[in-house]
Amino acid sequence: MYDNPLTKRDAVTKEVKISARGCQVYYGDTHAIKDVDVDIEDKTVTAFIGPSGCGKSTFLRCLNRMNDTIDVCRVEGDIRLDGEDIYDPKVDPVQLRAKVGMVFQKPNPFPKSIYDNVAYGPKIHGMSRNKAELDEIVERALRRGAIWDEVKDRLDAPGTGLSGGQQQRLCIARAVATEPEVLLMDEPCSALDPIATAQVEELIDELREQYSVVIVTHSMQQAARVSQKTAFFHLGNLVEYGETGQIFTNPQDPRTESYITGRIG
């Protein structure tokens, strides 16, 4: 599937989708993200790697303001989506999250039917005028989530009754159903077996055609397989950010090198 992932990359720089400047995140007194600058490109898979607790999830959650739901969390600095400050007081985080979808580490389908899981987002955003249109949206999303063939005969079955890998793909389908522009994925494969992981990775590669995908992963092989850009976090700092091929073959920072060779982490 990914015979030689490090060589087939196109090095063309694409449009910047999200740019962060001087981003700081505090949980109460804990300084979790320290002065991060990063430009995330459109139609690109960007991987965040780094040891546990270095702030990958925290930074990812800044990008769609999921951190707003944590009382003690404070975000400073400038994060822009298409040049617009997402922390501007005029911005409604709900509108932002419709544009920047998220898939979580643990598959978390709603305890509703498969159909309702996918249809929920389009419904609340008024994306369809009638049942037929909604059906179409659901089918397209499930197809894009690479799970359509497995569930097309049991759309009324509960989403929570699927296997872990299916649930995660259902969650991905749910996230793409609202037609987001950016898809954030926080360790989407950590609860999956190798086969389900391969399916999800293939899916991520396809999603790149339309979205900017940011994926947090613990697995360096995974980062190497699916991403074009890689950011290495360490103790809340963004240590190194660049082409995935370059990060893995020729890291500039000694900390990056130690991590990818397995000496820290």
Ligand X SMILES: Nc1ncnc2c1ncn2[C@@H]1O[C@H](COP(=O)(O)OP(=O)(O)O)[C@@H](O)[C@H]1O
- Contact flag: residue 58 with ligand X (CB under 6 A): yes
DSSP assignment of 138-177, as one string? HHHHHHHTT-HHHHTT-TTSBGGGS-HHHHHHHHHHHHHH
Could you tell me the smallest distance in angstroms from the CB atom of residue 65 to another protein? Answer: 9
| Angle made by CA atoms 165, 170, 173, in degrees to the nearest 5 | 130
Could you tell me which of 150, 196, 203 has the C-alpha nearest to residue 175? Answer: 203
Q: Residue with structure tokens 């979205």?
A: 211
Separation of alpha carbons 188 and 190, rounded Å = 6
Rule CB under 6 A: choose which of 56, 144, 208, 225 binds ligand X: 56
Number of residues that bind another protein (CB under 8 A): 31
- Contact flag: residue 57 with Mg ion (CB under 5 A): yes
- Contact flag: residue 58 with another protein (CB under 8 A): no
Separation of alpha carbons 4 and 59, rounded Å = 30
Number of residues that bind Mg ion (CB under 5 A): 1
Residue 70 binds: one of ligand X, another protein, Mg ion, none (C-beta under 5 to 8 A by kind)? ligand X
Could you tell me the smallest distance in angstroms from the CB atom of residue 172 to ligand X? Answer: 19
Fill in the amino acid letter for 56.
K
- 239: CB partners within 8 A, 6+ apart: 50, 232, 233, 253, 255, 256
Each residue 145-174 as x (binds another protein by CB under 8 A) or -, in order, gives -------------xxxx---------x--x
Which of 57, 113 has the CB closer to Mg ion? Answer: 57
Residues of this chain that interact with ligand X (CB under 6 A) are 27, 30, 32, 50, 52-58, 70, 72
Residues of this chain that interact with another protein (CB under 8 A) are 64, 66, 69, 71, 94-95, 97-98, 101-104, 106, 108-112, 120-121, 124-125, 158-161, 171, 174-175, 177-178
